[in-house]
Amino acid sequence: MSVNPTGETPGVGVPRALAVDMTIADQQDWLAAFLRRHPVSRRTALRGGAGVLATLAASGSPWARGVAAAAAPAPVTVVGRHLAYGPDPARSMSFSGELTAAPPPGRMVVDVGTDSGFGLTLPVQVRPLESLVPQVDGSIRGTRQWFAHARADGLAPGSRYVYRFRIEGPGGTTTTTATSTFRTAAPRGTRHRFTFTAFADQGVSTGGEPNHYKPDDSHRSPAPAEALTALVAAEAPAFHLLAGDICYADPSGAGRPVRNGARQDDEAHDSFDPTVWSTYFAAIERSAASTPWMFATGNHDMEALYDLNRADGPAHGYAGHAARLALPGTGPRGCPSVYAFTHGTVGVVSVDANDLSTEIPTNAGYSGGTQLTWLERTLAGWRADPDIEWIVLFFHHCAFATSGSHASDAGVRRALAPLCDRYRVDLCVQGHNHQYERTDPIRDGRPTRPAPDRSTVHPETDGTTYVCVGSGGRPRYRWQPGETDSVRGHETEQAPVTSFLAGPDDQKQAETVTWSRTRYLGYAYLRCSVVPGSGGTDSRLVVHAITDLGEEIDMVRLSRRMRR
């Protein structure tokens, strides 16, 4: 059985013929042996790495180029700022960014306050990340990056703050970033209106490997990933969910051409480029510097280049994310991208579908079952808590979706659907399939009732709504033969769809489904509006689908009786 299907995880320098049968841990062992045999090339590679500002300046992203221009005059500054909730989203916030060069000798801090006088000074922790990618000719392409992190605890719930990064240089010089604002989450159980947004499979427009769109993919903005970020920034949501496959640091998804002129070629070589992350963070900064972006991990986020130190448990390829991202850390040990947080009456869980997938089993089972045990305990606790009305899961591989590429993952459905049924999960946000698709409410694997555009669903009795929003910017996929778009103004007659459950070795177990309600083969994000009930009225979670052109194409109201 192939455990690492070609093109489905980043190619990090292991020859393709070997990598196809390797887990993350196997790839790491091969890489460690290769680097031990090439110490001189390693040193040379690191000396020749491109700088962050040069990477951003060459980017196809206008926002990233603007970040580079603004940062250029400073000796060292922080770019690509992004926020994330800490362990208690009502009282803590994490601040992250990337240094444009090696850390200077002076002090680095984050200033935080309720006004421009700040008042709270936080020490910055610098996390270095060294990336050494073997090339097909035996050389190594290397990069050193430095990521800056700080966390504020003890903040006031539901309150507005300002912050900036500040670097003290020689001779009393000081470099500061722009001052940005953020708001802490409402305390658990607080009944108030707010909005959050979501999508997956974003990618980035870079100079060398942009998201490449086919000629017939014409009903879109020129750069959907950028357009969707701009729309989310304009929404200014309470938080944003990204359900995996974040930046595609192996941009084509199946390897890139050799860069160093070698006559041989191997699609697993010369592909992974960690500086794509620099461009990505710069491109999303317009939103992420003020809104917490909460990430789940997808198959293109398993970077076997890292994790050679397995002291913290299983090898999973997420050590690069540990350097770049500040995740809440509220999940089970050894599963860094698994966590839960609450905002008012909403509980949100990031599930790592890589641990559950049968289609792409490169990381399958790495948690040893601890993720699902923790997830069930979390869901049971929330359903017994009158402060929590809504439960939202977000994860990458789809439990329920139709497409000609990945459709539904058998392992993910088998693991998660029974839990969603048992604990009356309201909404599952999925990615992986590059499309927008919403199901009718599902219970026991079957739709319980039709839920056309603008309808109202009662999850307590009707079941869970599954939305695939892998429409975040990467080039779209295709539907099953005979299947077409069905969205507002262009609805098609509801008919059974022949789809499949994806298993190992490209196995596709055919299934005929009647739960695929709304489909859009384009680029879109979710706007989810939380409206608490009052005076005897039900609480609502209203889910809108908005395209990269700003057009609403679908809406469904989830409705629950007030719990207290």
How far apart CA 200 and CA 194 sit, in angstroms, is: 21
How far apart CA 166 and CA 168 sit, in angstroms, is: 7
Express each pLDDT in 144-200 by its tens digit.
Answer: 999 999 999 999 999 999 999 999 887 778 999 999 999 999 999 999 999 999 999
Q: Which is nearest to 277 in space by CA: 470, 129, 476?
A: 129
Alpha helices in 317-458 (DSSP H): 319-324, 370-383, 410-422
Q: Which is nearest to 291 in space by CA: 95, 155, 472?
A: 95
Average pLDDT over every residue of 92-96: 98
Higher-confidence position of 396 and 101 = 396
Average pLDDT, the chain: 89
> For residue 24, what are its two tokens?
């993350």
CATH of segment(s) 191-560: 3.60.21.10
| 563 CB-contact burial (10 Å; exposed 0-12 / middle 13-18 / buried 19+) | middle
Q: Tell me which fold the domain 17-176 belongs to.
A: Immunoglobulin-like (2.60.40)
Q: Where are the domains of the chain?
A: 17-176, 191-560
Query: Which pTM does this prediction carry?
Result: 0.94
Distances (CA, A) of 73 to 56, 493, 543: 14, 59, 44
Distance of CA 319 to the CA centre of its chain: 15
Phi-psi region of 456 (alpha: psi -120 to 50; beta: other; left: phi over 0): beta
Residues of 308-335 as b/e, b for ≥16 C-beta within 10 angstroms? eeeeebbbbbbbbbbbbbbbbebbbebb
Can you spell out the DSSP letters for 453-501?
TTEEE-HHHH-BEEEEE--SSSPP--PPTT---B-TTS------EEEEE
How far apart CA 513 and CA 499 sit, in angstroms, is: 7
Q: Which is nearest to 396 in space by CA: 526, 240, 243, 500?
A: 243
Whether residue 44 is predicted with pLDDT greater than 50 in this model: the reply is yes
> For residue 414, what are its two tokens?
């088998």
pLDDT score for 38 = 81
212-226, 340-354, 476-490: lowest mean pLDDT where?
212-226
Whether residue 206 is predicted with pLDDT greater than 60 in this model: the reply is no
pLDDT score for 152 = 98
What amino acid is encoded at 109 in this protein?
V
94-108, 244-258, 339-353, 524-538: lowest mean pLDDT where?
244-258
Express each pLDDT in 458-473 by its tens digit.
Answer: 999 999 999 999 999 9
Task: Assess contact for 410 and 387: CB atoms under 8 A.
Answer: no
Average pLDDT over every residue of 252-258: 39
Whether residue 33 is predicted with pLDDT greater than 70 in this model: the reply is yes
Whether residue 48 is predicted with pLDDT greater than 70 in this model: the reply is no
Whether residue 501 is predicted with pLDDT greater than 60 in this model: the reply is yes
SS3 of residue 224 by DSSP: helix
10-14, 195-199, 245-249, 375-379: lowest mean pLDDT where?
10-14
Sequence-distant (≥ 6) Cβ neighbours of residue 555 within 8 angstroms? 453, 454, 542, 543, 544, 545
